[in-house]
């Protein structure tokens, strides 16, 4: 079970949920926007370039609503906010405990340099989308990030902040 942390002012619309070995990066909640006739939410992560391989690689997906992506995108104007959200993760006890007890699992070089494409920043690396779809990758407004990859993602994204 995870803990949703109180967002700092620097995080704006973004928030995080920390768990034992991973964290969720949440944008604004898009739930209910369709019934209210609102446009697609802006301040949410969008998983790009899906793979059909299940997360565990066994050929059996633990949940039909789970897909592995190899990139996600955020709005350009949210770069500093997402860096602040990643800072909140790395400052949390659960992350520090993971890094202390599993230092060999912390990876570098898994995220490539950010690519600015119009008004979105594309970030290429391991990410998991829950409850979204290829047509609506922003559906639940969150992506799962392994603690082993977060420092590298933060470093790459900071080059634009």
Contact of 11 with 81, CB cutoff 8 Å: yes
- Give pLDDT, residue 110: 86
Cα 79 to Cα 86: distance, rounded to the nearest angstrom: 11
- Determine which helix (DSSP H) or strand (DSSP E) holds 29, and give its type and residue range: none
Cα 22 to Cα 3: distance, rounded to the nearest angstrom: 11
Q: Show me where the domains of the chain are located.
A: 3-158
Contact of 14 with 26, CB cutoff 8 Å: yes
Q: pLDDT tens, position by position, for the chain (161 residues)?
A: 689 999 999 999 999 999 999 999 988 765 544 545 666 677 888 777 554 444 444 434 344 444 456 788 899 999 999 999 999 999 999 999 999 999 999 988 888 899 998 999 988 888 776 555 555 555 557 888 999 999 999 999 999 98
pTM: 0.81
Both structure tokens of 7: 């967002």
Both structure tokens of 158: 């900071």
């Amino acid at each position: 079970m995870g803990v949703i942390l109180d967002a700092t002012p620097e995080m704006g619309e973004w928030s995080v949920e920390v768990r034992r070995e991973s964290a969720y990066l949440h944008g604004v909640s898009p739930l209910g926007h369709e019934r209210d006739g609102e446009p697609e939410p802006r301040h949410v992560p969008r998983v790009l370039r899906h793979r059909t391989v299940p997360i565990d690689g066994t050929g059996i997906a633990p949940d039909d609503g789970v897909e592995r992506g190899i990139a996600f995108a955020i709005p350009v104007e949210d770069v500093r906010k997402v860096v602040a959200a990643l800072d909140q993760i790395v400052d949390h006890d659960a992350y520090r405990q993971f890094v202390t007890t599993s230092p060999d699992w912390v990876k570098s070089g898994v995220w490539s340099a950010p690519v600015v494409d119009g008004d979105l920043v594309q970030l290429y690396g391991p990410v998991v989308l829950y409850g979204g779809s290829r047509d609506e990758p922003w559906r639940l407004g969150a992506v799962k990030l392994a603690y082993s990859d977060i420092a590298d993602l933060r470093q790459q994204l900071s080059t634009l902040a």
